[in-house]
Amino acid sequence: MSKDDQSKKEFKKPEIAPEVWHDGEFIRWDDARVHVMSHVLHYGSSVFEGIRTYKTRRGQAVFRLREHMQRLLNSAKIYRMNHPWTLSELSDAAVELVRRSGLQQCYIRPIMFRALDEERPAFGVNPFPNPMTCYIGAWDWGKYLGEEAIEVGVDVCVSSWNRLTPNSMPAMAKSGANYMNSQLIKMEALLNGFAEGIALDDRGYVSEGSGENIFLVHDGKVITPPLSSAILPGITRDSVIEICRALEIPIVESGLQRAALYVADELFFSGTAAEITPIRTVDRIQVGEGRRGPITERIQKLFFEITSGEREAPGDWLTFVGEQKPAARPEANGHRAAQTEEVRKAATQSTAGDARDAIHVTLTE
Ligand SMILES: Cc1ncc(COP(=O)(O)O)c(C=O)c1O
């Protein structure tokens, strides 16, 4: 059976939230459509997020909602995307979407992109004439790298594709266009029989997986590549760093040679979709004992205890959906009008959300 046939056979339709939040209003899933001549389809001009919710004793909780929404605002700011949305409005919209969805737990996907103004269409690379629009959808997403992966680990390769260079496509921004690079990494890995690929940066140092950050354990110390290795500043990565501090496991950010992967005691991925997934082989070389290592297990255990609400998080990490006040309805049309006017000015400054309650995001290393 070809890989294509196999993936069709294994297909299981996810449960999807029946509504999508669009620029301040809830619309039906079926109505969430864009014009094929939208700027984003041709030039990759989108920024997005991926956020998970978890079942807890206090009901469904969104994991690190505001940090994700802050990263979305930062990504938009980097790409000079003018939009009217604030951190609080986006966070409230996501909570409201989950509340209305009927899903027990889900993956939330906010996306902002440059669309098409059908009254005044513009087709060039210059993004400024194209209106910004924002959607949030949600669906139930199981274990990204397979049900078993969390326990037994995955087999991965080092990709022949490099990660982005910092001054071409900023890896700090979670932009749709960056995921063309991720797709090259992922396709090559899958076609060669691996679950995932690890990309090196343009200097040959370890960067990250196609959709995950990476951690290495050596002599009881946890090491992860710094932002200067062209990584996305992962929210799960930040959570792992905090968890290591809580567990008093030494943690450092440091450049890593490819060869360090082969001689590591343990390796694992972190990411919203992948959560904390052990790596058991790299390029068919066994990592440590070839299964989830003890430090990975300790970190993973605390991570899942925190996400399930059994253990207190080191910070304000869970937003309990049932305990949030329903958001006041924003004036969707007012927002749109203001935004169109702004866009026409081909702004040099992005509004990029709510400076009043911005979340601090690490920019160094
Ligand atoms: C390229 C890349 N790196 C790292 C991550 C992990 O980031 P986070 O933990 O915020 O999901 C992701 C997932 O969003 C990703 O796509």
- Residue-wise pLDDT tens digits, 86-101: 999 999 999 999 999 9
Helix axes 65-78, 235-247, angle to 10 degrees: 130
Residue nearest to atom 2 of ligand 1 (CA): 211
Question: What does the pLDDT read at residue 145?
Answer: 74
Q: Is the CB of 232 under 6 A from ligand 1?
A: yes
Question: What does the pLDDT read at residue 337?
Answer: 42
Question: What does the pLDDT read at residue 360?
Answer: 55
288 and 177 in a single domain? The answer is: yes
Q: Which residue of 213, 235, 239 sits with most ligand 1 atoms within 8 Å of its CB, as the best mutation to test the pocket?
A: 213
Question: What does the pLDDT read at residue 144?
Answer: 74
Q: Is the CB of 236 under 6 A from ligand 1?
A: yes
- Considering the domain boundaries, does residue 4 fall inside one? no
Number of separate domains in the chain: 2
* Distance between CA atoms of residues 362 and 355, nearest Å: 16
169 and 257 in a single domain? The answer is: yes
- Considering the domain boundaries, does residue 96 fall inside one? yes
Q: Which residue has the tokens 């902002």?
A: 112
Q: Is the CB of 234 under 6 A from ligand 1?
A: yes
Distances in Å between the Cα of 51 and the Cα atoms of 291, 319, 353 are: 28, 12, 18
Residue partners of 332: CB distance under 8 A and separation at least 6: 23, 24, 25
Specify the CATH number for the domain of residue 179.
3.20.10.10
Active-site positions read 174
Specify the CATH number for the domain of residue 343.
3.30.470.10
Range of the domain at 164: 149-292
284 and 161 in a single domain? The answer is: yes
Residue type, 336: R
- Considering the domain boundaries, does residue 262 fall inside one? yes
237 and 332 in a single domain? The answer is: no
* Distance between CA atoms of residues 150 and 145, nearest Å: 8
User: Of 106, 109, 123, nearest to 32 (Cα)?
Assistant: 109
Question: What does the pLDDT read at residue 11?
Answer: 77
Kindly give the residue spans of alpha helices, DSSP state H, lying in 84-191.
87-101, 149-152, 178-191
271 and 155 in a single domain? The answer is: yes
138 and 55 in a single domain? The answer is: yes
Q: Which residue of 175, 212, 214, 227 sits with most ligand 1 atoms within 8 Å of its CB, as the best mutation to test the pocket?
A: 212
Which atom of ligand 1 has the smallest separation from the CA of 231? 3
Q: Is the CB of 182 under 6 A from ligand 1?
A: yes
252 and 323 in a single domain? The answer is: no
Residues of the chain predicted below pLDDT 50: 331-356
